[in-house]
Amino acid sequence: MSRAVLSIGSNIGDRLAHLRSVVDALGERAVAVSAVYSTAPWGGVEQEDFLNAVVVAEDAAFGPHDWLRFGREREEAAERVRIQRWGPRSLDVDVVTCDSGDGEVRSDDPELILPHPRAHQRAFVLVPWLDVEPEAVLTADGRRLGIGEWLGELDAAEREGVHRTDLTLTGPTTQGHAEC
């Protein structure tokens, strides 16, 4: 079984529709979907706020690069153009972690570094992830901590810049944990 944590975000066009397109494409592979959060852009590029969420997905036939390919296909379908690092985008799908069934996958492949090398520094990843997997752990900087612990290490301004919205990516019966 391959299990992936995907961080999704959008700040161009119909942001909510872009995020929903990921959940819709995953279908029953989406086992948990966080609330939708509004967050200030990260990285110093002036732009509109993002909508962000985290989706936990499982597929026995998928490996880490399959999750990466899935994310890139969703970005392409949303007409994402990669012009500026940390710039505006219609859809961003990041593979945060992947578990192959034998434990956390580690990869130094420049195409897919796992676990995501900066996820532990980004409240817009940790806060939604905490929604759906409060006991999750993440390895970064040579340490393995719970995501709540990583979140606690962030600057207060970083944490306070992530605001839960009333928006949802799934129907009322599947919001939060969605069991397959």
What are 151-172's pLDDT values in tens digits?
999 999 999 999 999 999 986 4
Q: How many helices (H) and strands (E) does the chain have?
A: 5, 11
Three-class SS of residue 39? strand
Which residues of the chain register pLDDT less than 70? Answer: 1, 43, 80-87, 171-180
DSSP character for 101? S
The pLDDT value given to residue 109: 87
Q: What pLDDT, on a 0 to 100 scale, did the predictor assign at position 178?
A: 38
pTM, to two decimals: 0.89
